[in-house]
Structure 1
Amino acid sequence: MSRYRLGTIVFAMGALLSVAAGAQDYPTKPITLIVPWPAGGSTDLSMRAIADSASKVLGQPIVIDNKAGGSGTVGPATMAAAAKPDGYTIAQIPITVFRLPLMQEVSWDPAKDFTYIVHLTGYTFGVTTSAESQFKSWKDVVDFAKANPGKVTYATPGTGTSLHIGMEQIAAMSGIKLTQVPFKGGAETNAAVLGQHTMLQADSTGWRPLVDAGKLKLLMVWTGARSPNYPDVPTLKELGYPMIYDSPFGVAGPKGMDPKIVAKLHDAFKKAVEDPAVIATLAKYDMVPNYKNTEDYKKFVVEVTESERKVIDTLGLAKK
């Protein structure tokens, strides 16, 4: 055997052993978890609790990096384009990552550009209005919108989010026209409706402190059953809309991650959503664990993409 060929084989074996050792020793430094929403919102706070618990299992800190914008897609898209698949950069994956490519040209392919790790939980969504608003119920909104087409404005955390799509479905079923005002996240939508810059807010439970303080009024929730925190507030189904919206989410990394590293991350995050302290934090925002393992999460991505395609087509929002 030639020295060149022998050297090539030795080098290749060394590289393979190095990769294997890397996966075996992982993690050896802090992990960055991209949260594609502003700091202080319900997603940010819940992901911080989950990350803190998972970091104790992994033995390394998980550092939150807030990259807001693009209806929750800027962070994952940045990761997919630039991060190494070494397990040290991962991201929360909102449902807009699957939906937005159906609506417009984007830089990522959800079927090819991510390594899906674990599915975690979902949201309680609701529609609020200022406590000083003329609207005391959802019926008041519908009646006003029928008399004033397009004049009812609502704040969302971005175009293409579940809040935007859900509100457009509700409007279509009600025979009314509503006007969306997109923002980057819950802090901004709270400010918009609180200051009556928009008439309504459609968002997850980052509004809860303001509702509890009597500054905002909760008109509806989008869960299957009434919230135990707001037993007097009707669900979508009770108002005549046969829908449940909880926009479930999980965690993924860039494409090409080592399955052994994926397994370590999966196990740590699974233990995190079983942690009583994490469950208590999620409960503050009406969120409950919705665990799916890696394989089931991959299947879910395919299923939710197809179901979203049908909704987008029905609403006439599909890209041309």
Structure 2
Amino acid sequence: MCTWIQFASRRQWLASTALSLLALSPALGWAQSAWPSKAIKIVVPYAPGGANDILARVVAEKLAPVLGQSVVVENRAGAGAAIGTEYVARATPDGYTLLMAASGPIVFNPALVAKLSYNPLTDLAPISLAGSFPMILAVNDNFPAKNFAELVAYSKANPDKSNYAYPSASFQLVMELIKTRTGLKALNVPYQGSAPSINAVLTQEVQMTLIDSGPIAALIKSGKLRALAVTSEQRLASYPQVPTLKEQGVDLAVNFWSGLLAPAGTPAPIIKRLQEEMARIMALPDVVERMAKLDIKPVGGSTADFAKTIATEIPLWTQVAKDNNIKAQ
């Protein structure tokens, strides 16, 4: 005969077991809930208007209809993009807070900042690269060097007259790598932003600058500045006359990039869905056309490729920073 006490104990055991299974099974929770069920936020760790911000807004615009939820972009700038990046790294890993980050906070900050408030390798989960954009090495149109080889020769013959302007430590790292690979001689002169760096070349305070194409495009097209090289694998459609470094005998191609990341621990099915959507979005003809006008190459690659890029570039730039004693400004 089953007593009331035995029946009650069995009922309590069943209830307790059910609660334990729910608590110990995040996968069960994922399977029972539909993602997304509310708005998604893409954090941009920069002020509005830059290439990274534009990419985030394009992705948000294209994601919303297919996911059936609003996708909003939130700018959290400051501290070399560390503020917005840390915010996402500390967010709940549920697929509702994402990060559209450029190379700076992911691979350059670890090389430049001794005590970074986040670890891009352990605190963030890469989803997909969004786009890559090269840099342009430019001089004043009155400068005697007409190509990169002549620039190197000039710098070796006039080391006391050879210097370059740069707007941030990220550009300095790339320029120092170019110097190491080519024998170029040039002292570094820091400026606060792209516009002052470019103006220094215009006024011939310095001989050259390495900069992304956006801020310098009009000056190159007007003939006030001369582009000697682009750092991409291939020539840019906007500047078909400007050869790559590789075409000029330098075995080096360097691009800045932007990519979508999530907090570490975000469920794999969410990462997979977002990566698939990124691949679709970055291949859309209207997106490709819009990016081409900004000299951005759409990527939309795999999660594994993005993770490899991060894992490869952090030690590369860390070594360049160490060799040249470069730290965050």
Output one character per residue of 1:199-229: Cα deviation in whole Å (capped at 9) or x when no partner. 4442222223453455654332111232232
1:127: which partner in 2? Answer: 137
Distance in 2, Cα, partners of 1:135 & 1:89? 51
Report 1:73-152 matches (<5 A).
73-81=82-90, 83-96=91-104, 97-105=106-114, 106-129=116-139, 134=143, 137=146, 139=150, 143=154, 147=158, 149=160, 152=163
Question: 1:30 Cα deviation (Å)?
Answer: 2.4
CA distance in 1, matches of 2:183, 2:85: 34
- What residue is the counterpart of 1:274 in the other structure? 283
- Residue aligning to 1:218: 227
Give the AA of the match of 2:158. Answer: A
Residue 95 of structure 1 and its aligned partner are, at CA, apart by: 2.8
- Give the number of equivalent residue pairs: 308
1:50 aligned residue (42, 56, 59): 59
Deviations 1:224-270 (A, max 9, x none): 23223212223223444321011344211111111122122222222
Distance of aligned partners of 1:27 and 1:203 in 2 relative to their CA distance in 1, 3 Å threshold: farther
Report which of the two structures shows the higher radius of gyration computed on alpha carbons. Answer: 2
Q: Structure 1 residues 272, 266: CA separation in 2 closer, same or farther (over 3 Å shift)? A: same
Instruction: Give 1:189's match in structure 2, choosing from 184, 191, 194.
Output: 194
Q: How far apart are 1:309 and its partner, in Å? A: 4.5
Displacement after TM superposition at 1:98 (Å): 2.5
Structure 2: which 5+ residue stretches go unaligned? 1-8
Q: Determine the structure 2 residue equivalent to 1:234.
A: 243
Match of residue 32 from structure 2: 21
Output the CA distance in 2 between the equivalents of 1:86 and 1:182. 40
Change beyond 3 A, Cα 1:51–1:148: same
The answer on whether the counterparts of 2:124 and 2:263 sit within 8 Å (CA) in structure 1 is yes
Aligned to 2:48: 39
- The answer as to whether partners of 1:127 and 1:218 remain within 8 angstroms in 2 is yes
Write out per-residue CA displacement over residues 118-161 of structure 1, whole angstroms, 9 at most, x where no aligned residue. Answer: 22221121133566x657645458736863638734133x21x2
Residue in 1 that maps onto 2:306: 297
1:236-275 superposed matches below 5 A: 236-275=245-284
Q: Residue 66 of structure 1 corresponds to which residue in structure 2?
A: 75
Structure 1 counterpart of 2:213, from 202, 205, 208: 205
TM-score (norm 1): 0.80
Q: Distance in 2 between matches of 1:177 and 1:45?
A: 33
Cα root mean square deviation, aligned: 3.3
1:7 offset after TM fit, Å? 3.9
Letter in 1 for 2:229: M
Instruction: Give runs of aligned pairs for residues 307-318 of structure 1, distance below 5 A.
Output: 307-315=316-324, 317=326
Q: Where does residue 175 of structure 2 map in the other structure?
A: 167
SS at match of 1:55: helix
Measured after TM superposition, the shift of residue 191 of structure 1 is: 5.1
